[in-house]
Structure 1
Amino acid sequence: MRPPILFPLFAEVTSLKGVGPRMAPLVQKVAGPLVRDLLFLAPTGVVVRRPMTAADAVEGEYGIFEVTADRLFTPGRPGAPLKVRTSDATGFVHLVWFGGSPQHVDRLLPRGEPRIVSGKVERFNGEVQIPHPDVATLDKAGEIPAAEPTYPGTQGLTSRQVRRLIGAALSTAPDLSEWQDSAWMQARRWPGWRTALDAVHAPTGEADLSPDAPARQRLAFDELFAHQLALARRRRARLIHPAPVIAPGGASRRMEAGLPFTLTGAQAQAVAEIRRDLSSGQQMGRLLQGDVGSGKTAVAALALADVASSGFQGALMAPTEILARQHHQRLAPMFSDAGVTAVLLTGRDTAGERRERLAALASGEAQIAIGTHALFQDAVRFDRLALAVIDEQHRFGVNERQRLQAKGDPRLGAVHLLTMSATPIPRTLELTQYGELEVSRLTEKPPGRTPVTTAVLPLARIGEVAKRLKAAVETGAQAYWICPLVAESEATDLAAAEARAADLRRILKVEVGLAHGQMPGVQREAVMADFADGRLPLLVATTVVEVGVDVPNASIMVIEHADRFGLAQLHQLRGRVGRGVKASSCILLYGGHDGALGETAKERLETLRRSEDGFEIAEEDFRLRGGGDPLGLRQSGFPAYRFADPVRHRSLMMAAADDARLVLARDPDLTSERGRAIQVLEELFDWKGHKTGSD
């Protein structure tokens, strides 16, 4: 239940003076529906004004002038500006209004009387000019602030109106008991919460807008701490759920013995961590994070074999039919040799196949189900489901994962969860997105994985690349050619997949497949299946092949306009080759016809050229992208922070996670004095209902 002290902050914005039915939707669009949302709308800039004279006025800066009006120029034609000439001891300052009323301006600036005017200095025909200035009498000069924060606005709601509403919201903000550790606060010289809030909304210069400003750091840490508390609580809640006890048995030993390779140290460690969780009697929630080719599927298969050995069932869900079929083709024979039956369920099974497989799962005859979204359809019944494995987990929504886990029998306990991701991400973002899950990292690649030679070439050499590709295809090689667009556009010169496929058919004289996101799914997967089966030597595609495509014979990857892709995405695309015995290569074509390449783009491509370590590449991508939307967070289910910046505040995030775990370990019910204050913080940020990428 929300504490009464927070009631004013959780009131609707319509409780503020001046926010009626017309303005309320505009305020909600810019900030949100609550008074609290206005408080959490940080300034995006600051206008700093300094005293100037007509002689020393600096174009582009905001000045404060003491002037006297001496002439009004009324518009000579419709639409022309209204201008007032004012002067000080050093020269003239022209004030301009577009659409202003002469009567109103006369009242503001009576001729011969001194006034304080302020605004952004422009020069027009050599004259000092200020459009739409602020005007005040000398006794009210203090009403024109030396520094003024600016906020995002929208049509019908100006930055100045938003600032006025935030001032009203601040007047309702209570003083709250301190929830942060006092020694931590003193060491960083951070202000209290209420003081920090006031300071964020009263910047005196650009430095106060920095993520490193003490007030901003304080509020960022509050936000991160509240989020990490929510994740830690979910982790604790999961651990109190009893779940089936799974132990290694004959099936998993036989399966491991039958693997065509020895587990790497990282794989063995991940298997041990998963087995520890599965045998604990508490519900497992673990992310298996590994680079392309690091052997995640083998680790998951051993966990599924453990489940079968213990008399239970497991499910492996993949985002596409082609990937589900590839998993089944590879794993079913290995499961069979270990005495375990695995069935495949997809949306394209025949009625007879579907009936037979559903019956096998319902009776317990089949211990493993491998499939797509078809696994959580109502008709699917498991006898003793104990483990759900989600491959490429970011391709599934929260409800889809929960629907699969709900297939378990509550009498047996909660269904264990193992999610897998082939997108290495930095530790900081891992903590943000998957903070409620335990994480196993596969940082090695199994022996025999073919290295990929990466070349970075200007787009002007595309003809040379096409010739080399022709020679390779004639010797039986298969290749991907990636384009950033589907069809040509007059607005851009980026490569288009459809046009490029036609060009390559003409040049190479071979059949060329085309796959992109605008094609019907059935048609796209049919093309990709033909490529996987070797019937197509070349596949031209957009980034739809970034994950979930495994073609061991493909040994060449060409990426046009590679400088327009993110570094992590380029690494994922490159991971489509080097999966077989053939020497593999990746050619990154960059720039336009002039071959120009920016410094950051050059650094990104050079990182990819010299490294195949996905975790190293992810950290570099994180560093190079800086603030804004690192790694496409808004598209990836990451939380939208108001004050925190995952890049600049990464050390604060680590500290917040540690503190959250420590607080709940010492005071799980938050009944201490600090604990009660922390409960107010949790309500203030309300992360408990927020959906993160790991939900």
Structure 2
Amino acid sequence: MAELSTNVRYIKGIGETRAKALEKLGITTLRDLISYFPRTYEDRTLTRPIRDLTEGENVCVRAMIAADPTAHRIPGGRPIVRTRAVDETGTLDVVFFNQEYRKNSLHRGEIYIFYGKVEGQRRHQMVNPLLEPEGRQHLTGRIMPIYSLTAGISQLMLTQAVRQGLDACRELLPDVLPDEVRREHRLCYINYAYENVHFPDSPEALTQARRRLAFEELFLLTCGLRLLRSRREDVFGPVCRKVSMDLFYNALPFTLTDAQRRAVEDTIGDMTAGRPMNRLCQGDVGSGKTMVAAACIWFAAQSGWQSALMAPTEILARQHFETLSPLMARLGLTCALLTGSTRSKERRETLAGLAGGTIDLCIGTHALLTGDVQYGRLGLVVTDEQHRFGVNQRAALSQKAEAPHMLVLSATPIPRTLALVIYGDLDVSVIDQLPPGRQKVDTFALGESYRPRVNAFLRKQVQEGHQVFIVCPLVGDGDTLPDERKAVTAYAKKLQEETFPDLRVSVLHGKMKPKEKEKVMETFAAGESDILVSTTVVEVGVDVPNATCMVVENAERFGLSQLHQLRGRVGRGQAKSYCILLSEHPSEETRRRLKVMTRTNNGFEISQEDLHLRGPGDFFGQRQHGLPTLKIADLACDMQLLEEAQSAARALLCRDEDLSRPEHRPLLERVRELFHDTADSMN
């Protein structure tokens, strides 16, 4: 009998050739095969008499071949086979292209079930229908799975392979959900679930099957994350003594919001608890997450611990350095910057200071992960996440010390329930309040016809002493979009020469060298450039209070959360600010999406809408590396199921905190399989 880990080539009916084709879809084992779920379904249960057929509908017809098939070739050499089928109510013409064998395989007087799209209003026709002899139906008269395919694999081939896979493992599937959980949540058995998610007996059976498998997926994920957390709590973290925060608060030129103070209290509670902090601090653009990090850095230093702050881009790392360095100096702490472009001499001095413990805070990029960076007393690691670092990268930085405190900052606010899925084993603090004086940015979604008015508005903004961002989605002249201005370099040139010859236009994109980017940003921040044409490199970490207008070209190409991040680059000063979202030929869907941006400035609301509109595949395209991927659960639709699964997992782990009971052994083994990269942490 096959095991679930058996290579699919050994499954009866698949063999070496099909196995190689399946490998392109990531299917190598029997478990992979049965867990390759349909992307949609086709309901082939609807059967109509010929008289009642309606043009355009997909339907089954039971009919008899009434004429011997005829074959001929059409211009170009393609073979075409025609025949006629009848039932008690009428006649159906049946046409096959490129299927010459049908001439000899169909015989007058035989009854078939035809499935296809009806063409013609008076004289009905089906072109290239599926057909099966009556009484030997496998592909008609039922709900059929439709799978995502790749070259060399057809729907029929994959459907047959899944059927063979299910037949091979009928007795192998362990029901890892405890009986009490399955009963309490009214979930079907595992064999029934796999059978009916692929070959449903009815729409109701499909709903039950999908609910069971999605629940199990979310339940296993939650169990794994909570086991990781419980193991973390068994480790001793850097000991921080409780001290008053008054000295830190008094050094600030402003007062923290209540939400910021709550987040600071959360982190201090973690850092004085004797275990390593592992916390996500999430808040909207401009909510003040950096100051929460600064409070943690100062607090760690009071107990002699060093801190490292890792940013996703050099621009953001430098901005953090420019923001935090003066504050740390006022507080008596030393601060250093370490990036890929740090000069050799400066780098050697910084490395020596870190190893010797004379530098309290090091701010940098991925350069902080290199092997020669060693710390004397690293106690706190801060990562400015922006969905750009995964679990494994954070772990690489934390390995620079023994179980340091970890703080993750994110400006893509999402519901707390989802944060547990996206960010794994992190506790969550939410900054749901903006500092006083933060400007609301007026947002407009406009079509191409508004461009002259937009250009006039931009000129007026510059004449009033302000600056403008314009963001394009692509770089270079090899742009596949129809208009060259969508390429940032070509657009900037055209803008300078034709639209604003009297204004100063600069360009920023990700292919520039760090020093070039830095120079462009310094020039713009100093007011020596009026308009900055950029790619999304400005999404993160560009702070120019004098910039009052953000224009986004081809706004339909961006997710709502990304547009919200771009909008956050303006509204940082005292002047009224604007965001203009341009689309050439906006579809109804585009208009609906962009209307969300014009309606609200609330990042939490926008993220939730983004998740619903784009689906989890796009929204979590940069999901945390190191966590299992979701194969059937849909976070856009399964929020209630996620909450149920999380509640059930918490309740079970309260009764059996390490799943050590014999009846939970299959569950623990499955969790370890899913979390194979971090399974050692569960032992």
Q: Which amino acid is 1:661 matched to? A: R
TM-aligned CA deviation for residue 324 of structure 1: 2.0
Matches within 5 A, 1:74-473: 74-76=71-73, 78-101=77-100, 105-106=103-104, 108-111=105-108, 113-123=109-119, 126-131=123-128, 133-136=130-133, 140=136, 145-171=141-167, 172-174=169-171, 178-180=175-177, 185-186=182-183, 188-204=185-201, 213-249=207-243, 253-392=246-385, 394-408=387-401, 413-473=402-462
SS of the residue corresponding to residue 647 of structure 1 reads: coil
Which of 19, 22, 31 is the equivalent residue of 1:27?
22
TM-aligned CA deviation for residue 438 of structure 1: 0.5
Q: For each residue in 1:15-53, what CA deviation from the matched residue of structure 2 results, as whole angstroms up to 9, or x when unmatched?
A: 211222221121222351111122122232124144444
Distance in 2 (alpha carbons) for counterparts of 1:457 and 1:328: 37
TM-aligned CA deviation for residue 385 of structure 1: 0.8
State yes or no: 1:11 paired with 2:3.
no
Alignment partner, residue 586 of structure 1: 578
- Pair 239,23 (structure 1): closer, same or farther in 2 beyond 3 Å: same
Alignment partner, residue 562 of structure 2: 569
Q: Which amino acid is 2:64 matched to? A: V
Distance in 2 (alpha carbons) for counterparts of 1:490 and 1:179: 49
Instruction: Give the stretch that moved more between structures: 164-173 or 293-302.
Output: 164-173
Distance in 2 (alpha carbons) for counterparts of 1:269 and 1:63: 63
- Pair 121,616 (structure 1): closer, same or farther in 2 beyond 3 Å: closer
Counterpart contact for 1:347–1:374, Cα < 8 Å: yes
Distance in 2 (alpha carbons) for counterparts of 1:670 and 1:296: 37
TM-score, normalised relative to structure 2: 0.90
- Pair 280,490 (structure 1): closer, same or farther in 2 beyond 3 Å: closer
Which of 465, 478, 482 is the equivalent residue of 1:492?
482
Alignment partner, residue 656 of structure 1: 645
Distance in 2 (alpha carbons) for counterparts of 1:435 and 1:401: 12
Distance in 1 (alpha carbons) for counterparts of 2:466 and 2:529: 10
TM-aligned CA deviation for residue 338 of structure 1: 1.5
Distance in 1 (alpha carbons) for counterparts of 2:654 and 2:481: 57
- Pair 61,331 (structure 1): closer, same or farther in 2 beyond 3 Å: closer
Counterpart contact for 2:60–2:140, Cα < 8 Å: no
Distance in 2 (alpha carbons) for counterparts of 1:689 and 1:316: 25
- Pair 100,490 (structure 1): closer, same or farther in 2 beyond 3 Å: closer
TM-aligned CA deviation for residue 433 of structure 1: 0.8
Counterpart contact for 2:4–2:30, Cα < 8 Å: yes
Distance in 1 (alpha carbons) for counterparts of 2:399 and 2:277: 15
Q: For each residue in 1:434-461, what CA deviation from the matched residue of structure 2 results, as whole angstroms up to 9, or x when unmatched?
A: 2310111111112232333334444322
Distance in 1 (alpha carbons) for counterparts of 2:96 and 2:643: 52
Q: Percent identity?
A: 37
Q: For each residue in 1:98-139, what CA deviation from the matched residue of structure 2 results, as whole angstroms up to 9, or x when unmatched?
A: 44455x743x3334x333242314437945335254242x56
Counterpart contact for 2:117–2:129, Cα < 8 Å: no
TM-score, normalised relative to structure 1: 0.88
Q: Which amino acid is 2:233 matched to? A: L
Q: Which amino acid is 1:46 matched to? A: E
Q: For each residue in 1:61-116, what CA deviation from the matched residue of structure 2 results, as whole angstroms up to 9, or x when unmatched?
A: 232323144323132564221233344444443444444455x743x3334x3332
TM-aligned CA deviation for residue 545 of structure 1: 0.7
Alignment partner, residue 504 of structure 1: 495
SS of the residue corresponding to residue 67 of structure 2 reads: strand
- Structure 2 spans left out of the alignment, 5+ residues: none
Instruction: Give the stretch that moved more between structures: 167-176 or 475-484.
Output: 167-176
Distance in 2 (alpha carbons) for counterparts of 1:149 and 1:453: 46
SS of the residue corresponding to residue 539 of structure 1 reads: strand
Q: Which amino acid is 1:22 matched to? A: T
- Pair 318,334 (structure 1): closer, same or farther in 2 beyond 3 Å: same
Counterpart contact for 1:247–1:275, Cα < 8 Å: no
Q: Which amino acid is 1:74 matched to? A: A
TM-aligned CA deviation for residue 286 of structure 1: 0.8
Q: Which amino acid is 1:85 matched to? A: R
Distance in 2 (alpha carbons) for counterparts of 1:431 and 1:175: 31
Instruction: Give the stretch that moved more between structures: 159-168 or 605-614.
Output: 605-614
Give the length in aligned residue pairs.
668
Distance in 1 (alpha carbons) for counterparts of 2:609 and 2:126: 47
Alignment partner, residue 33 of structure 2: 38
Q: For each residue in 1:593-642, what CA deviation from the matched residue of structure 2 results, as whole angstroms up to 9, or x when unmatched?
A: xxx654544444343334322112222333344x4635243566585322
Distance in 2 (alpha carbons) for counterparts of 1:565 and 1:629: 14
Instruction: Give the stretch that moved more between structures: 9-18 or 346-355.
Output: 346-355
Counterpart contact for 1:189–1:214, Cα < 8 Å: no
Distance in 2 (alpha carbons) for counterparts of 1:418 and 1:636: 15
Which of 621, 627, 631 is the equivalent residue of 1:633?
621
Distance in 2 (alpha carbons) for counterparts of 1:610 and 1:223: 35
Instruction: Give the stretch that moved more between structures: 433-442 or 62-71.
Output: 62-71
Alignment partner, residue 670 of structure 1: 659
- Pair 241,180 (structure 1): closer, same or farther in 2 beyond 3 Å: same
Q: Which amino acid is 1:131 matched to? A: N
TM-aligned CA deviation for residue 254 of structure 1: 2.5
Counterpart contact for 1:546–1:569, Cα < 8 Å: yes
TM-aligned CA deviation for residue 340 of structure 1: 1.3
- Pair 101,356 (structure 1): closer, same or farther in 2 beyond 3 Å: closer
Counterpart contact for 1:622–1:647, Cα < 8 Å: yes
Counterpart contact for 2:471–2:553, Cα < 8 Å: yes
Instruction: Give the stretch that moved more between structures: 665-674 or 537-546.
Output: 665-674
Distance in 1 (alpha carbons) for counterparts of 2:445 and 2:68: 65
SS of the residue corresponding to residue 21 of structure 1 reads: helix
TM-aligned CA deviation for residue 13 of structure 1: 0.7
- Structure 1 spans left out of the alignment, 5+ residues: none
Counterpart contact for 1:457–1:587, Cα < 8 Å: no
Distance in 1 (alpha carbons) for counterparts of 2:441 and 2:344: 43
Instruction: Give the stretch that moved more between structures: 140-149 or 530-539.
Output: 140-149
What's the RMSD between the two structures over aligned residues?
2.9
Counterpart contact for 1:393–1:419, Cα < 8 Å: no
Counterpart contact for 1:261–1:446, Cα < 8 Å: no
Alignment partner, residue 621 of structure 1: 610
Distance in 1 (alpha carbons) for counterparts of 2:489 and 2:652: 57
Q: Which amino acid is 1:666 matched to? A: R
TM-aligned CA deviation for residue 307 of structure 1: 1.3
Counterpart contact for 1:93–1:130, Cα < 8 Å: no
- Pair 376,179 (structure 1): closer, same or farther in 2 beyond 3 Å: closer
Counterpart contact for 2:386–2:411, Cα < 8 Å: no
Q: For each residue in 1:270-290, what CA deviation from the matched residue of structure 2 results, as whole angstroms up to 9, or x when unmatched?
A: 111111111122111111111
- Pair 511,207 (structure 1): closer, same or farther in 2 beyond 3 Å: farther
Distance in 2 (alpha carbons) for counterparts of 1:639 and 1:648: 19
Counterpart contact for 2:476–2:489, Cα < 8 Å: yes
SS of the residue corresponding to residue 219 of structure 1 reads: helix
Distance in 2 (alpha carbons) for counterparts of 1:672 and 1:569: 46
Q: Which amino acid is 1:621 matched to? A: D
Distance in 1 (alpha carbons) for counterparts of 2:139 and 2:438: 70
